[in-house]
Structure 1
Amino acid sequence: MAEWVVEHGIGEQRALLLDGDRVLAAKLRWPGELHAGQPVKLTLYSKPTGASRGVARDAGGTEVLVDKLPAGLSEGMSFDAVITRAAIAETGRLKRPQARHASAGTATPDGSADIFERGNTLRRFAPGLWEEVWDAAASGEVSFPGGSLLFSVTPAMTVVDIDGDLPSRELALAAVPALARALPMFDLGGSIGIDFPTLEAKADRKAVDSALEDAFADWPHERTAMNGFGFVHIVARLDGPSLLHRFASSRVGMAARMALRRAEMVEGPGATLLSVHPALKAKLTPEWFAELERRTGRPTRVETNPGLAIEAAQAQSVPL
């Protein structure tokens, strides 16, 4: 039976849905972010006359778009709400978190539906599991026999290009199982466009549609049939940034947290030497280093190496 497992890292929480040693889905949360399902106390900041939507602020000053506001609620009044979508950073802009007034049929969660609360907490995932997900999201590429999926995050949608050496029909059908695995693995939602090879025969397009129907039967979404140019549009629930969005907007932040994870995994006597690209060093806060040393019980040294890729931080044990 598939099970959610959680790893509380430094600067982030990670969750994997596992069936044995196979990753079925992944999620990521950074501390301090408002997340979907979270109850919050907000103060209404602005609301057009007669509108049911407005802008509110939480105690920390974060602006939240709120829906289903009661008619009698006026600016300056406080109220209870539930976050329905976390903030999503995009190139050049930030989509503010969204919420719904607590009286509008959105139940205040008790934690039972929160994967990070109800998942089985582990000290550390089995070797390679998180690395597999992280590396795929970092590269934006998922390989399958005969081809690969190439993911691109845009403000309008996430686009998936299918590339490979197989004949068009075989390539399209071979891509379907990889797609069905990749979308939940990246925690991807919202508007997703899939660019299959162009299939001229209607029967071939129907075969791909049927394969998609079977592959995504247990994943809530809406989907168009493949058009004559090989394009399929999928819309799924979006409640926060996917791993792909994280890399698109906060690549250095993702790499810094992974560097700390690698340092935390170092064993043996001595100190931990963490080698990072110079861009990462400014992202590694004193609080994070203090937590790293508390967890490992060993001092940490940091050296910068401009020859390292941002994603390729290295950690090893060295003499004190």
Structure 2
Amino acid sequence: MNGPLAERPPGEWIVEDGIGETRAALIEGERIVEARILVHGTLTAGTVLEARLVTRLPERDQGVVAWDGGEALLAPLPRAVTEGATLLVEITRPALPEPGKPKRARARPAVRSAEPGPAPALAETLDGMVRTAPPQGPDLLEDAGWSELLEEAATGRVAFADGWLTISPTPAMTLIDVDGECEPERLAVSGAAAAARATRRLDIGGSIGIDLPTVDDRRVRLTAAAAIDEALAQPFERTAVNGFGFVQIVRRRSRLSLPEAYAEDAVAAHARALVRKAERSRGRGERVLTAHPHVVARIERAGWVAEIERRVGATLALRGDGGLAISAGHVQARFQ
């Protein structure tokens, strides 16, 4: 590939401060190997705030803290803080969506020197080379497959050389099912590696279950486990691949994975993706954004139109089309 992507050294994070979200992708060679999306206005790991200890759960070394607009499970539980007292806490994970009632956010007591404030910017949390990309100029993320990445997150389907993965977020864990038409021994090894790569690429954390083909040969199961270790960056823990082809991985979880973000609110996720296309649209004159009415309504309600117009230097017209899927929106400039 020619152009800016080919000239960039491997292993560089590209960060975009978009409308409604901040995006980051680690690009090695010409492909995104890891991605993160932080939605603006949501509780983020690293936020420090003052909260009130509502309930002590000493037998679990935990407590429940609350503040105006939220609550979290606090661990470890400070011995000297009584119920009703206030303390500074640091958010370690936002609330997680679940049918019925979402899981509480998680927090820990803030260090003594901490002061209330927002989480560090996404770019400050990344290791290695980091470059901030403006909305104008070459689309470095798209050149590396950003749209493909979002399609994988939205559909939960990831293709690889020997088959495909089906990724399903559940309340207990994220399940990754490996399917294909080659011999089970080969699929077990290649599928394990593909599942590990997808775990990193789609920012999947917490408990992850990978269902590989059943293989009797213990040496093949060991090779599949080794493929996971090679493809997935530390830190993580995993079990052995059992006789039924199942292996469990546990990774640190400080935010929603990309598949979880689409599962929680697909309309909002597709709306933000379409807004990105609008702010990067090329051409002259008015932009016309056409999408499913639910997507259009979300963009209007979020108040993003004025910021899009400021970034592209042109007016934006929104048009709803009930015949479009929520993922099928598009943006057109009046003059190309």
The question of whether the paired residues in 1 share the 8 Å contact of 2:46 and 2:119 is answered with no
8 Å Cα contact 1:10-1:261 kept in structure 2: yes
Query: Given that residues 37 and 84 in structure 1 are in contact (C-alpha distance below 8 angstroms), is that contact kept between their aligned partners in structure 2?
Result: yes
* TM-score normalised by length of structure 1: 0.90
After superposition, the C-alpha distances for 1:33-58 in whole angstroms (9 at most, x for unaligned) are: 22122222222233357874222223
Residues 249, 112 of structure 1: alpha-carbon distance in 2 compared, 3 angstrom cutoff: closer
Aligned-residue identity in percent: 39
**2:295 match:** 280
Give 2:267's aligned residue. 252
SS of the counterpart of 1:270? strand
Normalised to the residue count of structure 2, the TM-score between the two structures is 0.86
Q: Give structure 1 stretches of 5+ with no counterpart.
A: none
- 2:170 is aligned, of 139, 154, 159, to 154
Cα RMSD after superposing both structures: 2.5
Larger CA deviation: 36-45 vs 184-193:
36-45
- Closer/same/farther in 2, CA of residues 109 and 17 from structure 1, 3 Å limit: farther
Change (3 A) 1:180 1:286: closer
Does 2:34 correspond to 1:18?
no
Equivalent residues of 2:195, 2:210 under 8 A apart = no
Cα distance in 2 for partners of 1:179, 1:28 equals 20
Cα deviation digits, residues 168-193 of structure 1 (max 9, x gap): 01111222332232111111011111
Q: Gaps spanning 5+ residues in structure 2: where?
A: 1-9
Structure 2 match to 1:169: 185
- CA-to-partner distance for each residue in 1:142-178, whole Å, 9 max, x for gaps? 1111201110111111111111110101111222332
Task: Report the secondary structure of 1:162's partner residue.
Answer: strand
Q: Is the 8 A contact 1:12 1:31 kept in 2?
A: yes
Find the partner of 1:199 among 188, 204, 215.
215
Instruction: Give the aligned partner of residue 80 of structure 2.
Output: 72
Q: Does 2:274 match 1:267?
A: no
Q: Deviations over 1:282-319 (max 9, x none)?
A: 21125211111111121111111122111111100127
Q: In structure 2, what is the Cα distance between the partners aligned to 1:259 and 1:225?
A: 41
User: Which amino acid is the alignment partner of residue 93 of structure 1?
Assistant: K
> CA 1:137 to 1:294, structure 2 compared with 1: closer, same or farther past 3 Å?
same
Quote the residue 2:251 is aligned against. 236
1:97 CA displacement: 1.3
- Which range is displaced more, 161-170 or 27-36? 27-36
Q: How far did residue 111 of structure 1 move?
A: 9.6
Residue number in structure 2 paired with 1:117: 124
Partner residue in 1 for 2:195 = 179
In 2, distance between residues paired with 1:191 and 1:19?
26
Q: Which residue of 2 aligns with 1:309?
A: 325
Give distance in 1, aligned partners of 2:17 and 2:28.
20
User: How far 1:252 moved relative to its partner?
Assistant: 0.7
Contact 2:283/2:334, CA 8 A, preserved across alignment:
no
Aligned length: 316
Deviations 1:120-162 (A, max 9, x none): 2111441343212111111111111120111011111111111
Among 2, 13, 20, which residue is 1:4 paired with?
Answer: 13
Taking the aligned partners of 2:334 and 2:169, their CA distance within structure 1 comes to 40
